[in-house]
Amino acid sequence: MSWLILVLSGALEAVWAAALHRAAQARGSRRLVPAFVFLIAAAASTAGLAVAMQSIPTGTAYAVWVGVGVVLTSGYAIAAKVERPTAARIVLLCGITACVAGLKVVA
């Protein structure tokens, strides 16, 4: 159960990063919704990480949390056309994914 919470918390990290991007791009009152999403997702993501760390070693939990977040955030940036989907970027993101899966295997 802790691993599921950890992966979902990593996904929420991508949500807050995307919301932060939207808030930075918006003006005036259009900034409030993404700012609110950012605050809620950041709090929930961090809380989930804290719960997972009760039964998963700290270094492993943090690495998985960040890894899931960075891969999903990069996926969002590519889909939103903020970043280009270069071959090197895709290969490196696959490497991060493999490392996160490897941590699950050895933990």
Give the model's pLDDT for residue 37. 95
CB 15 within 8 A of CB 65: no
Burial of 41 (0-12, 13-18, 19+ CB in 10 A): buried
Encode the chain (107 residues) as per-residue pLDDT tens digits.
Answer: 899 999 999 999 999 999 999 888 888 778 889 999 999 999 999 999 999 999 999 999 999 999 999 999 999 999 999 999 999 999 999 999 999 888 888 87
Give the model's pLDDT for residue 27. 81
- Can you give the pTM of this predicted structure? 0.86
**Domain residue extents for the chain:** 2-106
Neighbours of 48 (CB within 10 A): 23
Tokens of 64: 């998985």
Q: How far apart are CA 107 and CA 104, in angstroms?
A: 5
Q: How far apart are CA 90 and CA 83, in angstroms?
A: 11
